Amino acid sequence: MEPWIYVTLLAATAQAVRFGLQRHLSASRLSTAGATFARFMYSAPLVVAGVWIYASVTAQALPAIPAEFWAYAAFGGAAQILATMCVVALFAYRNFAVGITFKKTEVLMSVGVGLLILGEGVTVWAIVAILIGLVGTVVLSDPPERSAQPWHRRIFNRAVGLGLMSGVLFGCSGVGYRGASLSLEGGDVFLRATLTLACVTMGQSLAMALYMRLFEAGEIGRVLAAWRTAGLVGITSMIGSTCWFVAFTMQTVAYVNAVGQVEMLMSLAMSVFIFREKVVAREILGGGLVLLSVVVLVLVT
């Protein structure tokens, strides 16, 4: 397999663990914004230190940063904050595995976003894959309590909206990060990717700190008090984000997100064996269709 595939698999593993930790934080101690802020606040210093150490050890100068870098980075960073908040909020409506499956519609969304922003097109078979994924999303969107609710209320509900919005936003963030990293000149792939990550993560930390200072008084203190779990969120976030950024620099976002769908299987295992949640047959079917769409997308691209 090509190197970017191994990097993506490591990214997916770290991300599944990180979302599990964030779910625990949001369920027990922190608000949605607090659980989201934890990943940025605790990972930012680690990423900045990592860039400095890597550049020093490899004797590389930091690449010059053009103006377009900041536009791409701001676009990707803002989209990622909103997407993460959507996923954390989604856990209050559906179980962990289904929440992550909704989030993984990003692989379908990133195809369109990549075409619109970076001009990276798709084939007819890729469109077929997207349609299969949409069917899977509809199956997943039907909530467990089907009862006597009209079909439109079962399909069009808050959980679906949060899940699909997170998919769109994560697709936007990946494309933004790829654009930012590719705009840099000089340095190897790892240095360009981690420098992009460092700039984005610091900006996200400052933006979220300002938001919580203004609208969620006391939440920053609770994030600091939950340092044991929140620190693990930061470490897994640093590992996962570094791998994602490297993979986005090496390969098209849609391909990277497609391979990253293995996160869904990891999340399903966590849902059953760690959170002791029940996964019904319909959810397995919907998840299977989404996964099938990813397999088709990988085979035809």
Tokens of 230: 């929140």
Contacts of 179 (CB under 8 A, 6+ apart): 68, 72, 75, 76, 117, 118
**What's the pLDDT score for residue 232?**
83
**What's the pLDDT score for residue 146?**
52
Say if CB 282 and CB 139 are below 8 A apart. yes
pLDDT tens profile 1-57? 678 888 988 988 888 787 777 666 665 667 878 877 877 888 899 999 999 999 999
Burial (CB count <10 Å: 0-12, 13-18, 19+), residue 285: middle
pLDDT tens profile 230-281? 788 888 888 988 999 999 999 888 788 877 777 766 766 777 777 677 777 7
Say if CB 100 and CB 12 are below 8 A apart. no
Pick the closest to residue 190 from 31, 4, 22, 30 (CA basis): 4
Write the DSSP assignment of 196-228 as a string of letters: HHHHHHHHHHHHHHHHHHHHSTTHHHHHHHTHH
**What's the CA gap between 268 and 94, in Å, rounded?**
13
From the CA atom positions of the chain, what is the Rg in Å?
19
Pick the closest to residue 139 from 166, 105, 91, 182 (CA basis): 105
pLDDT tens profile 99-148? 666 666 777 788 788 888 888 777 788 778 778 877 876 676 555 555 55
**What's the CA gap between 130 and 183, in Å, rounded?**
29
**What's the CA gap between 101 and 108, in Å, rounded?**
12
